[in-house]
Structure 1
Amino acid sequence: MMTAPGYTVTDAQFTRLRAMNLIAGIILFAQAVLISAAALAEKTPVLLPVTARFPGGPVGSAVIPQTAHLADVNLGVAVVILLTLSAVLRFAQLLPAVAGRYRSGLDAARNTTRWVEYSQVSAITVFLIAQLNGVTEVGTLVALYAITASATLFLALQESEPRGAGSLRPFVFGTMVGIVPWGIIAFYQIGAGTLGDVPELFVRTVTLSLLAVATLVWTNAWLGRKARRGWAHPHRVEMAQIILVTFGTTLLAGQVLTGVLL
Structure 2
Amino acid sequence: MEKLFRWNIILAALHAVQAVAIIVLSKPDLGVQTVTTSFLSLDTLASTAEKPVLVSATRSLFDVNLSCFVAAFFIICSLAHLFIATRYRKTYEANLQKGINKVRWYEYSLSASTMMVAIALLAGIFDIGTLVLMFVLTAVMNLCGLIMEVTNQGKEKINWTSYIVGCIAGIAPWIVYVFYIVGSSRFGDGGGPPTFVYYILFSIFLLFNSFAINMYLQYRKKGKWADYLYGERVYMILSLVAKSA
CA distance in 1, matches of 2:156, 2:197: 39
Report the Cα distance in structure 1 between the residues aligned to 2:93 and 2:34, rounded to whole angstroms: 43
For 2:90, which of 78, 95, 100 is the aligned residue? 100
Cα distance in 1, alignment partners of residues 176 and 69 from structure 2: 21
Structure 1, unpaired ranges of 5+: 1-13, 252-262
- Scaled by the length of structure 2, the TM-score of the pair is 0.90
Aligned length: 234
Find the residue that maps to 1:64 and give its secondary structure.
Answer: strand
Pairwise mapping of residues 1-262 of structure 1 onto structure 2 (< 5 A)?
A: 14-39=1-26, 42=27, 44-57=29-42, 62-95=53-86, 97-159=87-149, 160-161=151-152, 162=154, 165-195=157-187, 197-251=191-245
1:163 CA displacement: 5.7
Change (3 A) 1:26 1:61: farther
Deviations 1:91-115 (A, max 9, x none): 11111x3111101110000111111
Q: Root-mean-square deviation (CA), in Å?
A: 1.7
Q: Does the CA-based 8 Å contact 1:163-1:226 persist in structure 2?
A: no
SS at match of 1:225: helix
**In percent, how many aligned pairs have the same letter?**
24
Give the secondary-structure state (helix, strand or coil) at the position aligned to 2:105.
helix
- Paired position in structure 2 for 1:5: none
TM-aligned CA deviation for residue 194 of structure 1: 1.7
Where structure 2 has 5 or more consecutive residues not aligned to the other structure, the ranges are: 44-50
How far did residue 28 of structure 1 move?
1.1
Question: CA distance change for structure 1 residues 188 and 163 in 2, over 3 Å: closer, same or farther?
Answer: farther
Please give the secondary structure, in 1, of the residue aligned with 2:63.
Answer: strand
Give the superposition deviation at 1:72: 1.3
Deviation at 1:203, TM superposition (A): 1.2
Amino acid corresponding to residue 139 of structure 2 in structure 1: A
Checking the alignment, whether the CA contact within 8 Å between 1:223 and 1:231 is kept in structure 2 is: yes
1:158 partner letter? M
Q: Which has the higher contact order (CA 8 A, sep 6+)?
A: 1
Distance, in Å, in 2 between the alignment partners of 1:137 and 1:153 is 25
State the Cα distance separating 1:238 from its structure 2 match.
0.7
CA distance in 1, matches of 2:125, 2:156: 40
TM-score, with structure 1 as normaliser: 0.85
- Contact conserved, 1:151 with 1:174, CA < 8 A, in 2? yes
Deviation of 1:209 (Å): 0.9
Aligned residue type for 2:231: V
Contact residue 50 and residue 71 of structure 1 kept, 8 A: yes
Distance 2:235 2:2 in 1: 16
